[in-house]
Amino acid sequence: MQNTTPPNIPTTPGLSKRRVGRFYLTSELGKGSNGSVFLGHDPIIDRDVAIKTLATTPGLADKKQREQQFINEARAAGRLSHPNIVTIYDASSEGGTTFIAMEFLQGQDLRQALASGRRFDSIETVNIITKVASALAYAHENGVIHRDIKPGNIFILPNNQPKVVDFGIARAPNRILSDQANPEHTLFNNNILGTPNYMSPEQAMGQQVTAATDVYSLGAVMYEMLTQQKPFQGQNIDKLLQQIAHKTPKSPSELSPNVPAALTAIVTKAMQKNPAERYTSAAEMGQALDKFLERDKRLKRKRGRPAGDANGTQEQAPERSSLFWLSCIAVVVALLAVAANFWLKVVPH
């Protein structure tokens, strides 16, 4: 079976002759300050892959740190095997290029989806967040804390399945990059490690990071999916960090009345300032979301709607349908009786 460039991704002229490791590059998928992502092909397995390369700007003083952090992503994610975590195939530095070869994903990340105006209803939100919680629970069980959960690091496939990506600042047991006193405040390419809008209070204050940090950040992502607003916003990073550390965000149901109270409670618990007051694990948060889905299914069954029919637009229950047709027949019979009575009165005999 011969693989071809996926639709809507134009081949970059001349790029197919370039190789990194054993992989051929065919198209550039994206470019940022830290590097580029290419669509590549693995000739041995005969499959498309995504190739993430590290930018090699000469003279950068933090080049060694950047390379270490880049390889840490492969080390952290590469030891994980979960359906909702991107799969890492290879990582190396060859010919002056440091790269990671990973599973090629089609779709868009959650940040792009939200920015494009896509709205997720409560059930869609819960289904996605539950799977991400499962992925994080698995990572935590294997000693890996992501530390940068945000919409841009949750990729949504065409079938609405999420994949957690970018473990660049994850903490793993065999991490090369040594933790510093305040690693979350370490500047990397003029950016704080971690995304401030979704950063936990302990990260904002430079305190010890645990799995509870990922729980908080996942709660912040869920908050935005439900309300179309970030829990905290601000152009000034210092003020934003102060809000995260000390201010309580508005309730999701206050911003969007359609948000069920049960989901507001889940988000509020996940985003508690004190890590000890949050869910004890991502797995526990996932269990709370599963219970919400089960309650929703029971309520819909009681109302005579098929489970998962969020808008109640599917067929009514058989009993209601029968009553409807019986009512129609009764109306028709009554009309016929009136017509017959009228005929007998007006037609001469």
Q: Provide CB contacts within 8 A for 319, sequence distance 6+.
A: 304
How far is Cα 279 from Cα 211, in angstroms, rounded to an integer?
10
How far is Cα 56 from Cα 52, in angstroms, rounded to an integer?
13
Question: Which pair of tokens denotes residue 338?
Answer: 């009136």
How far is Cα 243 from Cα 132, in angstroms, rounded to an integer?
26
Closest CA to 35 of 1, 63, 75: 63
How far is Cα 279 from Cα 282, in angstroms, rounded to an integer?
7
How far is Cα 240 from Cα 237, in angstroms, rounded to an integer?
5
Active-site hit among 42, 48, 109, 148 = 148
Task: Tell me if residue 214 is catalytic.
Answer: no
- H or E element that contains 98: strand 97-103
User: Is 189 within 8 Å of 34 (Cβ atoms)?
Assistant: yes
Q: Are strands 162-164 and 88-94 parallel, antiparallel or unpaired?
A: unpaired
How far is Cα 326 from Cα 320, in angstroms, rounded to an integer?
10
Catalytically annotated residues: 148
